[in-house]
Structure 1
């Protein structure tokens, strides 16, 4: 599990992040820099001169919106939306701005995107041959595997995300995804979120959840899940 987890995070960084250190071939360097550092004045001027910058991408097919989200540049995100940026525009990998914000744990940006029409029910597309990648992930699933903190899990559910949303094509729930691919803190936060809420309840396939914990080969994960499943069993009416 740990080998795959490292691979998965590396894929997230390569496909959602922009830290590979290579030169950008499509978007000019100047507007990329403006988006990174939150320079709204110069980026506004650039967009006025070159409106196409709004939809242009870098060599990783990331737009100015994607760059601004990763860097947490809220004002840039608002600027781009005000200029007509599509809050549901996909990259060639299939993620929307909301996927990026969920993975990088940007709660304020998530709120802004949703207020501008970003959808919580868009999944990343399936590839022809199923692999252990990010295909079929909804934004809530990316929040479950993120290494950037998990404060956005509660926010996503408050905005309408489904805690039982199945991964497209795989049938994995957010909890199962957290057990298999996410940090332990994501598992604990999901369980706590359900325990503290009267509005949300997890639909639990005990066999799948237990199998995911066993396959993780992580004693801590197995202990957390076994204790939780035992508590759920005790709560069932006789």
Structure 2
């Protein structure tokens, strides 16, 4: 297993057949040094349980996986507390797709198309400063009447914008967990058809088989030649390799 540059994780809710608390099937994949993506774990546990996630991450570490430089996932996971303990140096990036859904759910349907457009503009802003400015504009538009929507956007704001500290070529891979979301949609559909997939073992086997099939179609990371720089700790500012000049410029923008 060994090297990894980044990791992504996602969870599928699986309702228990015996009436006990629902568990989730978690999938974790990493980007290897050559830019290929590898599924490294499919396990079940409790979504919000730090201990469940810690067990998974410690197992990956025991199997030889180095701590990823950055991890991507939904904010509502016990994963982050576990990652902080097992991988203390790993950067955190929250999934924008999950966050957009959370924000829009707190707005009336009539406002959602306009708000969605504004949120996509923030997510795709070319610089951190422009993204932060976009968040302020969103606040001016919606905070007075819909503070919960803004609160959802501002929660973990820094972790939503972590991707700006990595190569621009990697941003599309870092902003969301879509690579796992797509095959998980197939798993969810199969789960509904089979009414929960029966036993724990059968559910895990089904999830693993479908995700392993999807893995064969995963393409390499954009800008894979930059991965060694990322692992070596080379800094990036707004997607460009850091230099004295752009570092000073970024500092001035922050002060302004």
Which structure has more relative contact order (CA 8 Å, sep 6+)? It is: 2
Query: What TM-score comes out, normalization by structure 2 length?
Result: 0.25
Task: Please identify which structure carries the higher strand content.
Answer: 2
TM-score (norm 1): 0.26
